[in-house]
Amino acid sequence: MWRWLAEAWAVTAKDLRTEFRTRVALSSVGLFALTTLIAVAYSVGPFRISAEDRPFLLAVLLWIVVFFAGLAGLDRSFVKEEESHTAPLLRLSASPHVVWAGKLLFNLVLLAVLLAAVVPLYCVLMGYRIQLLGWFVALLAAGGYTLAVEATIVAAIIARAQGRGALFPVLALPLLLALLVFLIQGTTATAEGAVATVGASLRAVVSLGGAMTVVSAMLFPLVWND
Amino acid sequence: MGGGPCYRLAVADSIRIVFSGVAKRFDERVVFRSVAGEAAPGEVLAVTGPNGSGKSTLLAILSGLLRPTKGSVRYLLPGERELERAQWRRILGAVAPAMSLYEELDALENLRFFARVRGLQGAEDRCRSCLERVALDPGRRTQVAGFSTGMRQRLKIAQAMLHRPLVLFLDEPGSNLDPDGRSWLEGWVHEERAAGTTVVLATNDPREMEWGTRRVALAG
C-alpha cells in the first residue's frame, strides 16, 4: 500500500513540478475564476439581490464560478500527456491505478488552490454570509473531491479523443449536474442555517463522491490502456 | 553500473515473445494482415520494411501499448509459462520516436520520476550511472526542452535501461545520434544480447539491420 501511494505521489509530484514551471493549468483556472468573479461582482454585486433570494442565488453563482473555472484546467494533466507524447512511456512505466490516483491527487491540489482563493474572495465581494461555517467547509471539501474525481475520469476519456478541448465540458457537465444541484442546495442551507438540509446535501455529495471513486477506479484501466 | 533493485531477478531470467496472425487496422486502413514471429532471449529480432509498413505499430502491439485487431502475442517465461499482459510493462524498456520524455524536467529528474513510478527504491545511483553511460551529465540542470535531438535520444535510451529490462523495444534507436553515439549503441545492444535480454528492433538503417539475428520483413 505504501509503495503504491509513493508511486502515485511520484506522478502528482511530477505534475506539480511541471505545472509550477509552466503554470498552464493554473493560469487557465485562475484567469477564468478571476474574470467570472469580477463579472459577477460587477453585474450583480452584493446589493442587487433581495435578502430573501440571496442565499440561493449567491450559492448558484458561487458554484458556477468554481465549476467552470475548474473545467478550464482540470483536463490539462491528461491532455498534456497525450499532446506531448509522454503518455506511451507513462503507460509502460506505471500501473493504471497509480496514474489515476496520481492525476486525481494533482487535480485535488489544483481545486484546493482554486477554492482557497476564490471562495473567500467571493464571499467578501458579494457579501455572502455563511451561518454554518463548519458545514460549509465540509461541503466545499466533499464537493471539491467529487468534482476532482469526476473531472479526472472525464479528462482521461477525452485526452485520447479528437477535438478534446470542446469535449471536456460537453462530457463533464451531464456528470456534474447532480453534484451541482446538491452543492447549491447545501450551500444555500449553510447561508440560511438549515442544518438538516445541509446534512442531507453533504451525505448526497459524499455518496456521489464515493460511488464515482469506485466507478472511476474500475473504468480507468480500460480508458488508459488501448 | 550502479546497484539497485532489478525486476530481472524478481520476475524471471528471460522472456520469449511469440506472436502469430497479428493484424492491425485503424478504421478502414489496414496496416498489416498477418504477421508472425518470435523474439528469443539473447537475440535481436529486426523488424524491417518501408515507411508506413507498420514497424512502429508492430512494436507497439508487441509491447502491449496497442491491441492487435487479430492474432495473439504471448510473453513466455522459462517452462513455457505465460506472463499476464498486465505484467508486461514491468519487464520491458522502450525507445521510440513517438515516445517523449518530460520537457519541463531535466535529465536526472526524468529518470528519478521513471524510477519512482516503477517502484525502484534507492535508485539515485542507478539514475546517475545510466546518464553517465549515455554520456549525459547528471549534474546538468538544463530542462529537456533545451536538449538537442541527439541528447534527447540518449536520454530515452538511459530511461529504457534504467530498470534492467528483460525485453527491449528499440524503434530506430540510432536516429539523431552522432557516429560515437551509434558505435556506443551497437556495443550496448551486443551487451544486452550477451546478458540474455530479448531485443526487438525496428529499423531501416542497413547497419542496424545487421544486428538482427532474426528478421520480420513487413511488406507495406
Cβ distance of B114 and A89 shorter than 8 Å: yes
Domain count, chain A: 1
pLDDT category at A164 given cuts 50, 70, 90 is low
* B101 to chain A, closest Cα gap in Å: 6
Nearest CA in chain B to A18: B104
Return d(Cα A208, Cα B176) in angstroms, integer.
51
A 66-95: CB under 8 A from B? 84-86, 88-95
Q: What is the pLDDT of residue B12?
A: 64
Return d(Cα A178, Cα A11) in angstroms, integer.
30
Nearest CA in chain A to B92: A92
pLDDT at B10 over 60: no
A136: domain range? 2-224
- Name residue A84's amino acid: S
- The arithmetic mean of pLDDT across residues A93-110, rounded, is 96
Contact B15, B75 (CB under 8 A): yes
Q: Look at strands B214-217 and B198-202 and give their pairing.
A: unpaired
- The arithmetic mean of pLDDT across residues B56-82, rounded, is 94
Cβ distance of B98 and A88 shorter than 8 Å: yes
**Closest C-alpha among A176, A202, A180 to residue A189:** A202
Q: What is the pLDDT of residue B19?
A: 96
Taking the Cβ of residue B152 and every Cβ of chain A, the question of whether any pair is shorter than 8 Å is answered with no
User: Which triple of cell numbers denotes residue A128?
Assistant: 455572502
User: Which triple of cell numbers denotes residue A144?
Assistant: 471539491
Cβ distance of A84 and B118 shorter than 8 Å: no
Give A22-26's long-range contacts (Cβ < 8 A, gap of 24+): A22/B104, A24/A73, A24/A76, A24/A80, A25/A73, A25/A74, A25/A76, A25/A77, A25/A110, A26/A73, A26/A110, A26/A113
pLDDT digits (tens, 9 = 90+) for B149-184: 999 999 999 999 999 999 999 999 999 899 999 999
Mean pLDDT of chain A: 91
A20-30 core/surface letters (b: 16 or more CB in 10 A; e: else):
eeeebbbebbb
pLDDT at B6 over 60: no
DSSP B186: H
- The arithmetic mean of pLDDT across residues A200-217, rounded, is 96
Class of domain B10-217: alpha beta
Q: What is the ipTM of this complex?
A: 0.91
Return the SS3 of B39.
strand
* B8 to chain A, closest Cα gap in Å: 15
pLDDT category at B216 given cuts 50, 70, 90 is very high
pLDDT at A171 over 80: no
Q: State which H helix or E strand residue B19 sits in.
A: strand B16-26
Return d(Cα B49, Cα A13) in angstroms, integer.
41
pTM (predicted TM-score): 0.91
- The arithmetic mean of pLDDT across residues B93-117, rounded, is 96
pLDDT at B202 over 70: yes
- What is the torsional sign of CA A31, A35, A40, A41? positive
Q: What is the pLDDT of residue A161?
A: 78
**Could you tell me the CA-to-CA distances from A190 to A135, A195, A201 in Å, in that order?**
7, 7, 10
Lowest mean pLDDT among A58-67, A121-130, A155-164, B94-103: A155-164
**Closest C-alpha among B120, B135, B128 to residue B187:** B135
Q: At what angle do helices B179-194 and B149-161 cross, to 10 degrees?
A: 10
B contact test, residue of A89, A106, A220, A225 with most B CBs within 10 A: A89
Q: How many residues does chain A have?
A: 226
Q: State which H helix or E strand residue B74 sits in.
A: strand B70-76
- The arithmetic mean of pLDDT across residues B80-96, rounded, is 91
- The arithmetic mean of pLDDT across residues A183-196, rounded, is 96
Q: What is the pLDDT of residue B76?
A: 94
Using a CB-CB distance cutoff of 8 angstroms, which residues of chain A are in contact with residue B120? Answer: none
- The arithmetic mean of pLDDT across residues B10-24, rounded, is 86
Nearest-CB residue to A14 (from B86, B102, B159): B102
